Amino acid sequence: MNKKVLVVAAHPDDELLGVGATIVKHVENGDMCYALILGEGITSRYNKRDLADISKVEELHEDTFQAAKVIGYEKVYLENFPDNRFDSVDLLDIIKIIEKYIEEIKPDIVYTHHSGDLNVDHRKTYEAALTATRPIGDFYVKELYCFETVSSTEWNFEYNNSFKPNYFIDATFMLDKKLEALNFYKSEMKNFPHPRSIENLEVTARKWGSVIGKKYAEAFEVVRIVK
């Protein structure tokens, strides 16, 4: 039976970095995949949000739509929470937005950020997604997973809440599409040895692949599975 999948991400490119190859696999299996991106992106690179170049934000969002076509997302939803300032927003406001899309899409599976990421927006996204997917009512999300986000997950050195994957997806035949899609993110991708580089993403996929005896893999933490 085909499933509906929703990725709840904080920023443009987060919908690919930790889960892109897995989404390709879902699409190839006939699942319908959607992404909800909560933050506008980029504006934290300016001293004040209202000084941000809006044309740069628009270019970033166009990159998102182009990348989504490669991956096979049915649709990407963009919200406008302030970049790297989610802690300035009431958590309930973020929860309500996620709940709205869950009610609309009715996903069987949700992927979101890890609770221990260094990035505050990632942590708030996790908290909001965990609340929005709580198992109550006639419909609720049956499977909830956390993905890693390079340049954030690995930089949290508080080991009591580090990323400890226990669920792996063989990405051997899907990684190329993920990397192709990420090349659209001209303002986000960097040169190696930056962790958010094509070379490092391949290395990361090789690392997780070696854990399960495959060439490439993506890794996740299971939050909840209801059968």
For every one of its 227 residues, what pLDDT tens digit does the chain have, with 9 covering 90 and above? 899 999 999 999 999 999 999 999 999 999 999 999 999 876 666 666 766 667 887 899 999 999 999 999 999 999 999 988 999 999 999 999 999 999 999 999 999 999 999 999 999 999 999 999 999 888 889 999 999 999 999 998 887 899 999 999 999 999 999 999 999 999 889 999 999 999 999 999 999 999 999 999 999 999 999 98
Query: Nearest to residue 218, comparing CAs of 180, 179, 191?
Result: 179
Q: What is the pLDDT of residues 88-109, one digit of tens each?
A: 999 999 999 999 999 999 999 9
* Residues ≥6 apart with Cβ < 8 Å to 46: 52, 53
| Contact in structure between 94 and 123 (CB atoms under 8 Å) | no
Domains annotated for the chain, with CATH where assigned, are 4-225 (3.40.50.10320)
Taking the C-alpha atoms of residue 35 and residue 73, their distance in angstroms, rounded to an integer, is: 7
CA–CA gap between residue 148 and residue 216 (Å, rounded) = 15
- How does pLDDT run across 3-19, given as a tens digit for each residue? 999 999 999 999 999 99
Token pair recorded at residue 181:
């899609």
User: Across the beta sheet with 75-81, what order do the strands follow?
Assistant: 75-81, 32-39, 4-9, 109-113, 143-147, 217-225, 167-170
d(CA 154, CA 149): 8
Counts of helices then strands in the chain (DSSP H, E): 7, 7
Closest to 20 in 3D by CA, of 139, 162, 155, 189:
189
As a whole number of angstroms, the longest Cα–Cα distance in the chain is: 49
Cα gap 137→169, rounded to integer Å: 30
